[in-house]
Amino acid sequence: MAKGDNLTPTAYIEHHLQNLTFGLHPENGWSFAKNAEQAAEMGFWAIHVDTMAWSIGLGILFLWIFRKAAKMASTGVPGGLQNFVEMMVEFVDNSVKETFHGRSKLIAPLSLTILCWIFLMNLMDLVPVDFLPTLAQKVGVMFGADPSSVYFKVVPTTDINVTLGMSLSVFALIIFYAIRSKGVSGFIAELTLHPFNTPNKFFQVLLIPANFLLEVVTLLARPISLALRLFGNLYAGELIFILIGLLGLWQLPLYFPWAVFHILIIVLQAFIFMMLTIVYLSMATEEH
């Protein structure tokens, strides 16, 4: 919603931070939420339509760009797109070779996908905060929607559901690679016999609860920290853009310096998520 729609600053911020939610409402059935309260009442049976649309769309865009570069690749003088794609592939390949100490055909493509996909999702934060939501509002009004109920967020990584979903996928791979490399018994032994270990069997049994608690906390902290780090940084960046947007036309002197600085955050957070994924999967395949 545009700033000029007679919203208070608080309502303006809350409107920009609310997702377009579709789900099963106790009273209205399957419908779009008209406010934050209705979205909360939908509970588990709700989907953030804007988040899903933008994340899937940007994923398709990433695949299309790289497929186009692969089809255009030649042994002659490479074009700009081919140069960019080759640079990205080489960068990720070197990062995987230096960090991942196991053997897997999945890690490099996974890392490339994570880096480019998260970067594209983060990049949406540089679009002026009122531009796309205002277009969505106009489209909604054309179909008879109440302007105040048209919500539209364009940065998927500011949605905790996206970052947690990605981190839980990485967590599942951590468990898979740990069991594949060490076996079920080795994985269980790693959870119960570390970090405190002793050759005495009696003391080993006594230390199992403490070891298990510490190792499970360490294991669960990985996906949670991955999700919250990405979400927190992008959510804070989006909130600052919204606060700058409250200034109306006076936002321009502040928007561009913050956008330039935020580019570093956008790139850095995509890189950190990729590198930590490689590190965690490498740790899962290593024997202690």
- pLDDT score for 154: 92
The reply to whether 222 belongs to the active site is no
pLDDT at position 129: 85
pLDDT value for 194:
80
Among the options 161, 169, 229, 282, which is catalytic? 229
pLDDT in tens, 121-166: 999 999 888 888 888 888 775 555 666 678 889 999 999 999 999 9
pLDDT of residue 142: 56
174 close to 284: Cβ distance less than 8 angstroms: yes
Q: Is 229 a catalytic residue?
A: yes
Closest CA to 33 of 117, 126, 148, 133: 148
For the question of whether the overall pTM of this predicted structure is more than 0.75, the answer is yes
Q: Which residues of the chain have pLDDT under 70?
A: 1-7, 141-148, 249, 287-288
Among the listed residues 55, 111, 167, 233, the single catalytic one is 233
Instruction: Find tokens 């940084």 and name the residue.
Output: 233
Is 94 one of the annotated active-site residues of the chain?
no
